Structure 1
Amino acid sequence: MSQGGAIHQLARRLLAPGAMALLMIVGNAGATEETEMVDAPAFHLQKPGGGHIGSADITGKVALLNFWATWCVPCVQEIPHLDRMFGKYQEQGFVIIGVNYQQDEPRIIRFMEKRPVSYPMAMDPDGALSKHFGVRALPVSILIDREGVIVEKLVGTLTVKVLEAWLDRYLAK
């Protein structure tokens, strides 16, 4: 075998697993997971800059927990859309909590100063809540109905179209 052929074969062996992993990640982007209808766990999180927010604050409301990080490009891109949807549906009992995944408070505060939003942000510094919800990639959006039941889960970018469909279904109940 020529040196060029050997290099080509080696490159193929090394790149194939990486390409397969990338396909698995991209192929799952924006995938709605089969949601097991279970009660959402009780939680109590600190807000950047002070204060707390938790499950008691969403009782009787349709709540979206959006797990995100400042380094996650799709997460950052969906924030303005989520903010508009929050403003549009807040009076109907819709709330969003942006749950930052394992970043320090000063970084989150700096980010929020540059990109202010009207919905509350919270911190999950040790990833405990994220782990409880099965978050293994970002962004992840979890919808909890008025009875506190997890009714939808989406891994990847949450589009306005999908969120509106969810809200049409669950705000009416």
Structure 2
Amino acid sequence: MLGVGLVLGAPAIAAVPAQGKASSGLDKLLNMEGIDGSYAITYRDAEGKAIARAAFITAVFDHHGTFSFDHDPAKHTADLRLNRPGSQAALLAKAAASSAHARGAMLKSGQAWPAFRLADLQGRTVDAASLRGHTTLINFYFSQCAPCIQETPVLTAYAHGHPEVSVLAVTFDDAGTTRDYVAKHHFGWPVLPDAMPLIESVGVSAYPAMAVVGPDGRVLRMALSSDIDPGHALTVAALSSWVAGAQAPASRNHPIGR
């Protein structure tokens, strides 16, 4: 079974007065992840025991629960499991609210990248002007995010194979945590720690996420990493195609930071 590494919660809506409305809300969440009516879905409690769909919906919508899921697009099967309250998965899901909300909150193609001014781990200043004159791939991650860790080798390979594109990582982790993470996972590009104001201003609330910013400082593409090649783990080929599809003009490499 293919694990997609995502956690979801009910959208930030007021009350859900009827089971039918909540059921539709769950279907909408799943459809955003490619799980439609053709899937055979198993619903489980936090202990892994199979439960009825109605009980699952009540836990998510009436009691503000969150859930994780695995799915197999080839077999059209999905396994949904409630997260334990207070678990890392539950906290991440609540922070993200839902993937549907996260997608809608991010900057859209053509919008200007907001003004910012941050220091990377070497103390060099990085700001909006640093992004101009070249194409930049920006990765949003945090140290406890398993899918973020899993895609790091892909980013490394992409950066090595595409020197014409600058790569920048952004995280809300503090500088100490970020240094440890970079050393452990061998980041070879600038990283901006303590960047929550920037993260909020571009609308990122789920991780990992990617953005491509063009030489004019405007967004060419922005998406959750899971949407780059839906239903599959991110690969260098998929990432390369996604960035190229943004139709950014080729430019010489321009190191970020000064």
Aligning the two structures, in what range does the TM-score lie when normalised by the shorter sequence? 0.7 to 0.9
Write the distance in 1 (CA, Å) between the matches of 2:145 and 2:67: 21
1:78-117 mapped onto 2 (5 Å cutoff): 78-90=151-163, 92=164, 94-101=165-172, 103-117=173-187
Residue type of the alignment partner of 1:111: Y
Aligned residues: 160
> Does the Cα contact within 8 Å between 2:210 and 2:222 map onto a contact in 1?
yes
1:79-103 deviations in whole A, cap 9, x for unaligned?
Answer: 111111111111x2x01110012x1
Distance 1:58 1:143 in 2: 10
Query: Quick one: distance in 1 between partners of 2:171 and 2:113?
Result: 18
Aligned partners of 2:241, 2:132: CA distance in 1, in Å?
21
Q: Which runs of 5+ in 2 are unaligned?
A: 1-50, 70-79, 81-92, 229-233, 252-258
CA positional deviation for 1:61: 0.9
* Aligned residue number for residue 54 of structure 1: 127
Question: Which residue identity does 1:153 align to in structure 2?
Answer: M
Amino acid of the structure 2 residue aligned with 1:139: P
The residue type paired with residue 188 of structure 2 is: S
Partner of 2:113: 40
| Residue of structure 2 equivalent to 1:139 | 208
**Letter of the aligned partner of 1:37 in structure 2?**
G
Calculate the TM-score normalised by the size of structure 1: 0.75
How far residue 34 of structure 1 moved from its aligned partner, in angstroms, is 8.4
Q: Which has the higher contact order (CA 8 A, sep 6+)?
A: 1
Separation (CA, whole Å) in 1 of partners of 2:199 and 2:206: 10
Cα distance between partner residues in 1 of 2:67 and 2:147: 21
Alignment partners' CA distance in 2, 1:35 and 1:78: 23
**What CA distance in whole angstroms lies between the structure 2 residues aligned with 1:21 and 1:80?**
24
C-alpha deviation, 1:38, in angstroms: 1.1
- Aligned: 1:165 with 2:209: no
Aligned equivalents of 2:107, 2:127: Cα separation in 1: 25
Mapping of residues 113-128 of structure 1, within 5 Å = 113-123=183-193, 125=194, 127-128=196-197
Q: Give the whole-Å Cα distance in 2 for the aligned partners of 1:86 and 1:120.
A: 12
The question of whether the paired residues in 1 share the 8 Å contact of 2:112 and 2:219 is answered with: yes
Aligned residues of 1:47 and 1:122 also touching (Cα < 8 A): yes
Structure that is richer in helix per residue: 1
Question: Does 2:143 align with 1:70?
Answer: yes
Kept in 2: contact 1:49–1:109 (CA 8 A): no
Distance 1:137 1:53, change over 3 A: same
Shift of 1:16: 4.9
1:45-70 Cα deviation digits (max 9, x unpaired) = 11124222222222111111111100
Kindly report the root-mean-square deviation, in angstroms, between the aligned alpha carbons of the 2 structures: 3.3
Quickly say closer, same or farther: Cα 1:135–1:34, change in 2 above 3 A: closer
